[in-house]
Structure 1
Amino acid sequence: MEVKAVSRYQRISVKKANRVLELIRGKNAKEALNILYFLPKPKHKVPILKTLKSAIANAIYKAGKVKLKEEDLYVKEARVTPGPMLKRWQAGPMGRAMMIRRRTSHIYITVATIEENKKGEE
């Protein structure tokens, strides 16, 4: 079973989010949560941590009567795409104005059951 969670318009640049997503891609869901909890970059990990928790909760809810735990899931896909930029102006030298681009991103995380992964390898 494959379940997705999407977090859109997050105030984190694509580069910074991608560096964090590389750490959890392909990992067990519980292991990925531990990696994010102990990551020393709080601003970068919070939107990704919330999205991962949402994906895990979606999977458990979608399983219904089947008892599914965090240990039974792994991060199948974790990607980030650029969102719209917030354009702000800052005073520059000699009376000029300089544009600051505050970047946003969309975070997509897909979790799947471990049994599904084993079937695909055979």
Structure 2
Amino acid sequence: MASRQKRGGSGLSWVAAAADTASWCLALSLVALLLVCSLGPAGEQQQQRGGAGVVRGAALSARPCEEIYVVADGETLHSISDKCGDPYILEQNPHVHDPDDVFPGLVIKITPSKPR
């Protein structure tokens, strides 16, 4: 009876070690896949074709003022108005009820009057 318990106990520890190793391999593979997907040339090709991308830093202020504008992090209606030369942003966007309630990702209509 003691020999059965020894075999059963060592069998369970082997299964646990194999499951632990498999889970680590899976986790590392997932991290590697995420890195490859985020750093690959597909993102560059999408931006070259005019696809949507994340705009940060100096590129944020260099964005063009187009008729359909997506508010970025740190922007206000006042800063967009100054940047694009459109003092009537609030009147053209009835879905914006409060000029202080502007958030990143909000889509607004502007009529740019001066090029950046």
**TM-score bucket (shorter structure):** under 0.3
Larger CA Rg, structure 1 vs 2? 2
Identify the structure with the greater strand proportion.
1
Higher relative contact order (CA 8 A, sep 6+): 1
TM-score, scaled relative to structure 1: 0.22
